[in-house]
Amino acid sequence: MKARELILVSIISFLLGCNAKKLINPSKKNYACFEQVEKIKSLESIISQKNKEFQTMDEEVKRLTEENGIFTSMFGEIENQPGGHKILEKLFNKFK
């Protein structure tokens, strides 16, 4: 969300630096201004895509954290059962 706000502020700042009338009627003098606007739009699209990727990764981290908690609890229960420590130790040595 912060990246989107930063892009919005950047675009507004940039547009305030360009004459709005020139943006409506482009000429060779302000071609660079349009070029910059297109670059900003492109960067906004990239940031939006990366934001979606980060959200997906965050959801996966949360899911894996919950799964890890479940396995930790299961191993704790097994550890406390008679012979559980030896079973877990044997499995740990087998798969490490």
pLDDT digits (tens, 9 = 90+) for 5-64: 766 666 666 666 655 555 555 555 566 677 788 888 888 989 989 999 999 999 999 999
How deeply is 49 buried, as exposed, middle or buried, from its count of CB atoms within 10 A (0-12, 13-18, 19+)? exposed
pLDDT at res. 20: 53
Backbone angles phi, psi at 2, to 5 degrees: -65, -35
pLDDT at res. 76: 92
Q: pLDDT tier at 93 (50, 70, 90 boundaries)? A: very high
Please state the domain extents for the chain: 1-45, 53-96
End-to-end distance of the chain based on CA atoms, in angstroms?
41
pTM passes above 0.85:
no
